[in-house]
Amino acid sequence: MNVRRVLPFLVLSVGLVGAAGCGEDHVANPPATPPPPAVTGDATDFCTLAIQIATESGIMVDKHYIPPLQETLDQLKALVNAALANRDRLVTGLPDDVRAAVDVQLQYFQALKDNDFSSATPVPAGLDAATQTVNQYQVSACGVTFDQ
């Protein structure tokens, strides 16, 4: 599964982090053609926190998410734990559509943690669309890059 693409980070995206032993990939890369969401709210705070979480977890270097095949389970755990610890800060000031998408991602992160990062963790409805929304926002508002 490619969990890093979920968080804004984080994604955090959070981006979803592809982790060894975490199952199949449920998330597509952000599409290149749709226009990015309008940047409203406080993108700077979200971007700063999302980049910090992704960098500290090891899945981002210089605003570039590392390729999913290079990600590890330890990086996934670090990302998920940091994102959940900063849940309220991550969604504050985001446009409604992005906040809703981050909420879906955080639901999945909580489920991953509750299920000890099992590959059998149920995926919430709408995760793929939520991930695309968050990834597009990260690219347009935060200037991050998703390496392949």
3-state secondary structure of 146: strand
Q: Which residue blocks in 65-138 are alpha helix, DSSP H?
A: 73-85, 87-91, 96-114, 127-137
- Contact between 46 and 21 under an 8 Å Cβ cutoff? The reply is no
Residue 54 contacts by C-beta under 8 Å, 6 or more apart in sequence?
4, 7, 9, 10, 11, 12, 13, 14, 15, 60, 65, 79, 144
Q: Which range scores top for mean pLDDT: 43-47, 67-71, 118-122?
A: 118-122
pLDDT at position 52 over 70: yes
pTM of the model: 0.74
Nearest Cα residue to 23 out of 9, 2, 43 = 2
CA end-to-end span of the chain = 15
Confidence of residue 43 (pLDDT cuts 50, 70, 90): low
- pLDDT at residue 112 greater than cutoff 60: yes
pLDDT in tens, 79-106: 999 999 999 999 999 999 999 999 999 9
Percent of all residues in the chain with a pLDDT value above 70, rounded to a whole number: 71
* 71, 4 Cβ separation under 8 angstroms: yes
Residue type present at position 130: A
